Structure 1
Amino acid sequence: MSRYMMIMRVDPAAAADFADVDFSEVIESMGRYNEELIKAGVMLAGEGLCEPEDGFVVDFGADPPVVTDGPYTEAKELFNGFWIIETSSAEEAKQWARKCPLGPGVKLEVRRVSETEEFDTDNPWIQKEIQWRADLAEKAAQTARVAAGR
């Protein structure tokens, strides 16, 4: 199994066209899509993002890095949300990406998420990464047990 990140990118001109769309319809179509991903057992995470005015960019081309508050006038496309899915193949990830209820002016960039096993596991930082992930998984399991009242 491999994990893939599907990154939603919206052309700013297309985003202006969305102003006339009933947002409850957008939520409903995305909700149905997310439910399909969950029922199929492939969705690991997914989030929409707030408007660029609420964010900032850190440019490491200078020392110290320069922070610029949004919106980002130089952006050709805005990163509006993402999903992380786990599928048996790149072809299956493509099939899920094609099903996403998006329209003109919107693209999904799909990239495989690297796994720690792909790196030199003798490296102390990779060993720490493996331990951090195990600690986070245990913390999530504890939270789930508490929430379930056990």
Structure 2
Amino acid sequence: MRFMLLMIPQGYETAAADAVPSVEQVAAMTAYNTALFESGVLIGGEGLHPPATGARISFADGKPRVVDGPFPQAKEMLGGYWMIDVASREVAIEWAKRCPASPNEIIEVRRVQEFEDFPPELQAAAGAEAAQA
């Protein structure tokens, strides 16, 4: 089963565009990423630039509206992610618990929706291409 581990750093929504982690944070996270890789569960993962460099596109009136970051009104922002392939939700949670996160960080564990998770009528609506993706 594939799971996303989503890193949500508190206060990140107003981080400066040039904000970077400390050398110690990078070293600790590199060791964690190496453990994920060496165990064979890591599919991919990346850190994200601060929200100040991003944009949000909303569709409230049926037309796209672009708002550039930062997003101080946001309560939570994604700081990075890992995609892992493990046997169960419990194993995914155990990997998340091993992360060298700081006290202001939260990791959300979410299972990836697979094509097979959908009922037959939705699979048919999605088409053969979706099954192969």
**Counterparts of residues 18-33 of structure 1 (less than 5 Å):** 23-33=22-32
CA gap of 1:87–1:71, structure 2 versus 1, over 3 A, is same
**Alpha-carbon distance, 1:126 to partner:** 3.7
The match for 1:49 is: 48
* d(CA) in 2 for partners of 1:115, 1:124: 15
**Alpha-carbon distance, 1:63 to partner:** 2.2
The match for 2:69 is: 70
2:105 aligned with 1:113:
no
- Post-superposition, which runs of at least 4 consecutive aligned residues in structure 1 deviate over 6 A? none
Which of the two has higher C-alpha Rg? 1
CA gap of 1:122–1:112, structure 2 versus 1, over 3 A, is closer
* d(CA) in 2 for partners of 1:3, 1:117: 13
Q: Report the 3-state secondary structure (helix = DSSP H, G, I; strand = E; otherwise coil) of the residue aligned with 2:128.
A: helix
Q: Report the 3-state secondary structure (helix = DSSP H, G, I; strand = E; otherwise coil) of the residue aligned with 1:94.
A: helix
**RMSD (Å), alpha carbons:** 2.2
**Percent of pairs with identical residues:** 37
Aligned pairs, how many?
Answer: 127
User: Does the Cα contact within 8 Å between 2:115 and 2:123 map onto a contact in 1?
Assistant: no
CA gap of 1:122–1:57, structure 2 versus 1, over 3 A, is closer
Listed as ranges, the gaps of 5+ residues in structure 2 are none
* d(CA) in 1 for partners of 2:80, 2:97: 16
* d(CA) in 1 for partners of 2:128, 2:100: 39
Q: Report the 3-state secondary structure (helix = DSSP H, G, I; strand = E; otherwise coil) of the residue aligned with 1:104.
A: coil
**Counterparts of residues 1-150 of structure 1 (less than 5 Å):** 2-12=1-11, 23-119=22-118, 120=120, 123=124, 125-131=126-132, 133=133
User: Does the Cα contact within 8 Å between 2:8 and 2:76 map onto a contact in 1?
Assistant: yes
CA gap of 1:111–1:22, structure 2 versus 1, over 3 A, is closer
Q: Which amino acid aligns with 2:124?
A: N
User: Does the Cα contact within 8 Å between 1:6 and 1:84 map onto a contact in 2?
Assistant: yes
Question: Structure 2 length as normaliser, TM-score?
Answer: 0.85
More helix as a share of residues: 1
CA gap of 1:79–1:22, structure 2 versus 1, over 3 A, is closer
* C-alpha distance after superposition, 1:72-105 (max 9, x if no partner): 1111122100001111111111100000010111
